[in-house]
Amino acid sequence: MPKTARPKVIVSRRLPQAVETRMAELFDVELNFDDTPFDQARLIDAVRRADVFVPTVTDHVDAAVLAEAGEKLKLIANFGVGIDHIDLHAAREKNIVVTNTPGVLTDDTADMVMALILSVPRRIAEGEKIIREGNWAGWSPTGMLGHRITGKRLGIIGMGRIGQAVATRARGFGLAVHYHNRERLPASVEAGLEATWWPTLEAMLTRVDIVSINCPHTPETHHLINDKALRLMQRHVYLINTARGEIVDEAALAAALSRRGIAGAGLDVFEHEPQIHPDLLNLPNVVLVPHMGSATFEGRQAMGDKVIANIQVWKDGHRPPDQVLEGWV
């Protein structure tokens, strides 16, 4: 159980004002008012001084950083769901609990998936650019033709909370839902989503019209969508990624799009954020958005509320409700 009533909490990025204010009321908090991402030196300084460190996806809390952690550091309360930027094994070796914020970003991310599914086939970004550049000559019967999504097959990679939320929305647009997951969903859930399960990714990729990536980034899913996987897809396929950029081999994707091996892509995440493969920037059949799948006022507030709850429960001597159990059980 923590010894101090007001633990030292260091936060790596600007959070919603209400979240920061509540943290200041409850904890001895150190905020990042200029929102400059922490480099390794600042990360090391933080883990040396804090009882609780609150990182985000931009912070690489790897083994080298955690090797410098002070004896005080007992909790890493991540502001976000994904924890692939934290070395869980190194944290466990130091007896540091890691928490995240699951469940509160499901709807926001699923909404972004649907926005991209609509945007790419209907060429919305292309059309918007034509108007802003003053190149629209008016309506014509064959102008800016795209493809309808109703009646198409959607293949979802990763059928967790977000994947299922995408499936629910997709059915409303008349899409047939297919999915690949490490484990098949219970029959009742699968029936409710009217979803077709494929035991191998390869089998699904050859059959669907749209592919949505909704799985976590792990060593097993790194570059899951590579040149081989892209070549399995039919030429009319659209690829949507709102999960993690590292799941897609960005160079292979750029090459596939350039040769029209697939029809287009909608990307909210990138392999080397904030850098983007230069070829993607020049392709008209790609919609690029800056990692904003969970960027809603409601979502960010809910994330902050979960971070605070995890710290508070830990401070009171109990296991935090959102402890990441990988490496602990």
DSSP-based helix, strand, coil % in the chain, nearest 5: 35, 15, 50
CA distance 44 to 32: 15
The amino acid at 61: V
Q: Tokens in use for 108?
A: 């926001």
Q: Tokens in use for 76?
A: 């890493």
Indicate the Cα dihedral angle 270, 267, 113, 133, nearest 10°: 140
Q: Tokens in use for 210?
A: 């749209």
Residues 6+ apart with CB under 8 A from 138: none
Question: Which is catalytic among the residues 30, 68, 190, 273?
Answer: 273
Task: Indicate the pairing of strand 97-99 with strand 75-77.
Answer: parallel
* Length of the chain as a residue count: 329
Place of tokens 């008209």: 284
Question: Which is catalytic among the residues 123, 217, 244, 277?
Answer: 244
178 is known as an active-site residue: no
Residue 116: count of CB within 10 angstroms of its CB? 28
Q: Tokens in use for 179?
A: 């999915």
244 is known as an active-site residue: yes
Question: Which is catalytic among the residues 22, 217, 291, 300?
Answer: 291
Q: Tokens in use for 309?
A: 């709850």
CA distance 329 to 320: 15
The amino acid at 178: H
Place of tokens 């410098």: 68
273 is known as an active-site residue: yes
Residue 232: count of CB within 10 angstroms of its CB? 15
Residues with a known catalytic role? 244, 273, 291
